[in-house]
Structure 1
Amino acid sequence: MLRVTHILEATVGGTARHLLDVGCGLAGEGFQVEALLSARPEESFAEGARRLAAAGVAVTWVPMVRELSPRDDARAARLLAAHLRHSRPDLVHTHSSKAGALGRLAATLARVPVVVHSPHAFAFQMRVGTARRGLYLAIERALARRTHCLVAVSAAEAALACSRAGYPKERVAIIENGVDPEGAAPPEEGAALRRELGIAPAAPVVLFAGRLVEQKAPEVLVAAAVAVLDRHPNAVFLLAGEGPLRPRLGAEIARAGRTASIRLLGHRSDMARLYATAQLFVLPARWEGLPYALLDALRAGLPVVASEIPALREVVVHADAGLLVPPDDPPALAAAMARLLDDPAGAARLGAAGRACVREHYTVQRQVRQLAALYRRLAAGCRAPGGNETAPGVV
Structure 2
Amino acid sequence: MRKDKIRILHVAQAAGGVDLYIRMLLKYLDKDKFENILVCSQDFHKEDYNDLVDYFEQIEMTRAIGGSDLKAIKAVRKLIRKYNPDIVYAHSSKAGAIARVADIGLKNHCVYNPHGWAFNMRCSARKKAMYMAIERAAAPFCDKIICISDAEKQSALDKKICRDDKLQVIFNGVDIEAYENGVHGAIKRRGLNIPEAAFVVGMVGRMSLQKAPDVFIKMAKKVKDEVSNAHFIIVGNGNQEAEIRKYAENNGFSDSLHITGWVDNAMSYVELFDVACLLSRWEGFGLALPEYMMAGKPIVASSVDAIPNIIRDGENGLLVEVDDDIGASEAVLRIYREAGLRDRLVAQGMEDVHSRFNARRVSEEHGKLFEQV
**TM-score of the superposed pair, with normalisation by structure 1:** 0.88
Q: Check conservation: 2:298, 2:316, Cα contact below 8 A.
A: yes
Q: Check conservation: 1:155, 1:311, Cα contact below 8 A.
A: yes
* Residue 188 of structure 1, CA deviation: 9.5
Deviations 1:349-387 (A, max 9, x none): 201110111111211111101101100100xxxxxxxxx
**Correspondence for 1:101 among 97, 102, 118:** 97
Question: In 2, distance between residues paired with 1:189 and 1:240?
Answer: 17
* Residue 28 of structure 1, CA deviation: 3.2
Q: Check conservation: 2:26, 2:53, Cα contact below 8 A.
A: no
Deviations 1:132-170 (A, max 9, x none): 110111111111111210111111111112221422111
Question: In 2, distance between residues paired with 1:222 and 1:187?
Answer: 31
**Residue 353, structure 1, aligned to residue 348, structure 2:** yes
Question: In 1, distance between residues paired with 2:200 and 2:153?
Answer: 35
Question: In 2, distance between residues paired with 1:29 and 1:332?
Answer: 50
Name the counterpart of 2:62. 65
The 5 Å alignment of 1:117-196 reads 117-184=112-179, 189-190=184-185, 193-196=188-191
Higher share of residues assigned helix: 1
Alignment partner of 2:162: what SS? coil
**Residue 75, structure 1, aligned to residue 71, structure 2:** yes
* Residue 297 of structure 1, CA deviation: 0.3
Q: Which region of structure 1 is more displaced relative to structure 2, 165-174 or 316-325?
A: 316-325
Q: Which region of structure 1 is more displaced relative to structure 2, 239-248 or 308-317?
A: 239-248
**Correspondence for 2:18 among 15, 28, 34:** 15
Alignment partner of 1:108: what SS? coil
Unaligned ranges ≥5, structure 2: none
Question: In 2, distance between residues paired with 1:102 and 1:250?
Answer: 39
Unaligned ranges ≥5, structure 1: 379-395
Q: Check conservation: 2:147, 2:167, Cα contact below 8 A.
A: yes
Question: In 2, distance between residues paired with 1:202 and 1:308?
Answer: 31
Name the counterpart of 2:368. 373
Change (3 A) 1:319 1:174: farther
Q: Supply the AA of the counterpart residue of 2:71.
A: R
Deviations 1:210-260 (A, max 9, x none): 222222112211121112111112111111112232233233333333222
Question: In 2, distance between residues paired with 1:244 and 1:271?
Answer: 19
Structure 1 segments of 4+ aligned residues over 6 angstroms from their partners: none
Q: Check conservation: 1:27, 1:33, Cα contact below 8 A.
A: no
* Residue 203 of structure 1, CA deviation: 0.8
Question: In 2, distance between residues paired with 1:54 and 1:282?
Answer: 34
Question: In 1, distance between residues paired with 2:71 and 2:311?
Answer: 42
Question: In 1, distance between residues paired with 2:151 and 2:54?
Answer: 31
Alignment partner of 1:369: what SS? helix
Change (3 A) 1:228 1:29: farther
Question: In 1, distance between residues paired with 2:367 and 2:182?
Answer: 35
Question: In 1, distance between residues paired with 2:12 and 2:240?
Answer: 24
Question: In 2, distance between residues paired with 1:274 and 1:324?
Answer: 23
Give percent identity, aligned residues only.
29
Change (3 A) 1:8 1:112: farther
Q: Check conservation: 1:52, 1:58, Cα contact below 8 A.
A: no
| Matched residues, number | 369
Question: In 2, distance between residues paired with 1:179 and 1:228?
Answer: 30
Change (3 A) 1:336 1:187: farther
* Residue 173 of structure 1, CA deviation: 0.9
Question: In 2, distance between residues paired with 1:7 and 1:65?
Answer: 13
**TM-score of the superposed pair, with normalisation by structure 2:** 0.93
Q: Check conservation: 2:192, 2:258, Cα contact below 8 A.
A: no
Name the counterpart of 1:212. 207
Alignment partner of 1:249: what SS? helix
Question: In 2, distance between residues paired with 1:212 and 1:122?
Answer: 20
Q: Which region of structure 1 is more displaced relative to structure 2, 348-357 or 246-255?
A: 246-255
Question: In 2, distance between residues paired with 1:145 and 1:167?
Answer: 8
* Residue 187 of structure 1, CA deviation: 12
Change (3 A) 1:189 1:24: closer
Change (3 A) 1:15 1:319: farther
Q: Check conservation: 2:148, 2:285, Cα contact below 8 A.
A: yes
